[in-house]
Amino acid sequence: MAGRLGAEASGGAEASGSAETAAEAADEDEEAHVLQLPSGIAADATECFVVDGSAHEVHVFSTADGSRLRRLGQRGTWPGQFEFPWGVALWRPPGAGSGGAAERRLLVAEGAASGGRRGRLQVLDAADGAHLQTLVTPSAGRLSGVCVDAEQARVCLVDHSAKAVRVLARWEAADAGAASRPREPSTSEAGKPEVGIS
């Protein structure tokens, strides 16, 4: 202990400068972990995905120690970019097996706050954020939530603007882990319209 204190005392301004630099770096690192507007969360045994609606990105944290692992996306309208994401869900496609994290899909529900743009549901590879597919709602609106019924392979969306819940038709993979293309709206067993994907 005396050796440590002695080294700090003899370091003078140089030790003080490096301590300030380290403190500034720690502050910047801490700021990078601050969520601006957390609006949705999904987790599995290893990772927690938090949607930040204001920063237009998804933060991925370790469930083991809470450390941030990576960020996905940025503001924009291109595939893999987000415009006010509000909901998130994790999903393992039918036929994908019980393999590793690379088979997980991340569904991000988003909707522009203005401009009459349609809400979007983007499907990303949960491991690296690679864009796999985009589904667009049939009307202008803001998607504010998403969940997956893995048993029935159905996706439910909350459309804030339409004040409605939309149930996507059965989602079947063309092959293990591959999401398929959207199809025309179908009718559910109850006779209510659905936005379908097959």
For position 71, what pLDDT does the model report?
95
- Residue range 104-156, pLDDT digits in tens: 999 999 876 556 567 788 999 999 999 998 887 666 567 888 988 877 778 88
Do strands 131-140 and 118-125 pair parallel, antiparallel, or not at all (unpaired)? antiparallel
Sort residue 163 into left (φ over 0), alpha (ψ -120 to 50) or beta.
left
CA angle 135, 139, 142 (to 5 degrees): 75
pLDDT in the model for residue 188: 39
Kindly state the average pLDDT of the residues 69-83: 92
55 is written with which tokens? 């920063």
Q: What is the pTM of this model?
A: 0.68
Domain 37-194 maps to which CATH number in 2.40.128.30, 3.30.2270.10, 2.120.10.30, 3.40.50.1820? 2.120.10.30
65 token code pair: 């120690």
Over residues 4-47, the pLDDT tens digits come to 323 333 444 444 455 555 545 544 555 555 899 999 999 999 99
Q: Where are the domains of the chain?
A: 1-32, 37-194
